[in-house]
Homo-oligomer: A and B are copies of this chain.
Amino acid sequence: MNDVTGQAPDATAAEGGAGGGRRGRGGGGASARRAARTQSGSGPKLAYIRRALPEYEVLDEEGLALIEANADIVLQEIGIEFRDDAEALAMWKEAGADVSGERVRFPKGLCRELLKSAPRIFTQHARNSENSVEIGGKATVFAPVYGPPFVRDLDGVRRYATIEDFRNIVKLAYMAPSIHHSGGTVCEPVDIPVNKRHLDMVHAHMTLSDKPFMGSVTAPERAADTVEMCRILFGSDFVDQNTVLINLINANSPMTFDGTMLGALKVYARANQACIVTPFILAGAMSPVTVAGTLTQVLAEVLAGAAFTQLCRPGAPVVFGTFASSISMQSGAPTFGTPEPALVSYGAAQLARRLGLPFRTGGSLCASKVPDAQAAYESANTLNSTVLAGTNFVLHAAGWLEGGLAACYEKFVMDCDQLGMMQAMARGVDLSENGQAMSAIREVGPGSHYLGCQHTQDNFQTAFYRSSIADNNSFEQWSAEGALRAENRANQLCRRWLDSYEAPALEPGIAEGLSDFVARRKESEPDAFA
């Protein structure tokens, strides 16, 4: 990949005990940039997570089998609608499904049989090969918030998002040590015509970051543009033979896929690019009010949508997606960080493992309008369940506010701090001789302290996760330093990150090719704003 882009890798994978990530060649400006990042408080970049911790499981064999049997009944008897896509219906008929109008009913076992060609784990390549990620197995990848039309900016103003915000969030994700992926629609740049946004967004991911990213899914031709741009960035042969995009294909729950999503899915699957087939669920509205009922519907929808990727191209990478939340039964408003969606995430992760597909859920979700205690409680509850579930791809891992309507700069860096904690947690318990620390216990003995002992001196720099946001000082010192709240400190840190941002190198010929493509495509049709 370095051969393709001609750039120097800009950071060394610094993951500790659990290892992971390929190491690239050292490069000229790398150490200088690394030093700048460390000074700015973002710290060394970390490779994606290889979990040493076991997965937490909330369902036993009996429960899992029950839900699988119920999902089979849904597929056979109720079926799934594939709307506004005659080709999809014809493909399903050809594959042996019962197609009636837009409703597709599946003979028992058909979807599972088709999914046997889907990989359990795959690599999504980044233009900097050090940042390529594995999706599946024991890997966990954190990606930023996706989709918000608003931002809460560094002046505390909540307003429509612009392309400048988009670029800022890509820069922050590039600098954040525990963000392993540049994401996709990190916010909606509403100042750009709706039919041309995807070009500027993909261009930003490609030029301002060298982490892997997501493609446009809002129309088949925008998906095709994304693939074209990847051919410029990576080379056509490389794109044909490798997965360089992962793309969010939402089901229109309950039990429906619409023409737009199917169109994008077909483009990407046929190009051997990855699809995350995700039932977008606010339980109580798009699924039953119970955890088991929601899991049944989610499994049925994923089975149908993921199997369809294999009809498009056997072997195309596909991820079992879940977006789990619920609504307030009093007001209808979406709620986050509550117990029921956590149980859905844990259960869905188990179902995905049994199906042999990588799993996506969770993130740092919250309903709060500000980065306050509500936002943090809800985000931490979601993130804990996401990581312990063994999630492979974590969208919305940082920056999500207000039920996903707003991307928040301050919360972005606060969430990144939490992601760093989860990354340390995922390393599990070190049982080496150094980890056992018997020498320290012997040296110190009863009634003394460990502050100066040899073992502490040998380990103090890496012993504990060091938060970039938390203030652990005394009340008096904290008061003397301005009595700042967490979001005030996050604001300062976020400004430092943006001030010290430096773009990763990109071969001039490729940069020009991308700019030309974007300009040409923008000129080819009039602006549209809806």
Contacts and interface: CB of A to CB of B under 8 A. Distances in A.
Contact of A373 (B337, B373, B434): B373
A289 B459 contact: yes
Interface string A346-377: 01000000000000000000011111111111
A443 to B, nearest CB: 10
Contact of A158 (B333, B472, B475): B475
A441 B330 contact: no
Contacts of A428: 58, 343
A441 B283 contact: no
Interface in A275-307: 283-297
A101 to B, nearest CB: 11
A530 interface: no
B290 A435 contact: yes
Contacts of A333: 472-474
Contact of A380 (B380, B445, B451, B459): B380
A429 B343 contact: yes
A518 interface: no
A256 interface: yes
A292 B430 contact: yes
Contacts of A388: 56, 388
A54 B54 CA distance: 13
A471 interface: yes
Interface in A438-487: 438, 440-442, 444-451, 455-456, 459-461, 463-467, 469-475, 478-479, 483, 485-487
Contact of A340 (B287, B402, B446, B464): B464
A103 interface: yes
Nearest to A423: B339
Interface stretch (A77-85, A115-123, A167-175): A77-85
A490 to B, nearest CB: 8
A256 B437 contact: no
| Most chain B CB atoms below 10 A, which of A79, A371, A471 | A471
Contacts of A332: 451
A323 B333 CA distance: 38
A218 interface: no
A244 B290 CA distance: 39
Contact of A436 (B70, B289, B418): B70
B63 A429 contact: yes
Given A63-B431, A447-B255, A470 B380 contact: no
15 contacts: A158-B475, A254-B441, A289-B455, A290-B434, A291-B430, A293-B440, A296-B441, A327-B464, A333-B473, A338-B465, A343-B429, A368-B470, A372-B486, A381-B421, A384-B384
Closest 6 CB pairs of A and B: A293-B437, A380-B380, A376-B376, A288-B437, A339-B425, A289-B463
Given A285-B449, A333-B474, 19 more contacts: A58-B429, A63-B429, A63-B431, A254-B446, A284-B464, A287-B450, A291-B430, A291-B435, A293-B438, A293-B455, A328-B466, A328-B472, A331-B472, A339-B425, A340-B464, A342-B425, A374-B470, A377-B414, A381-B384
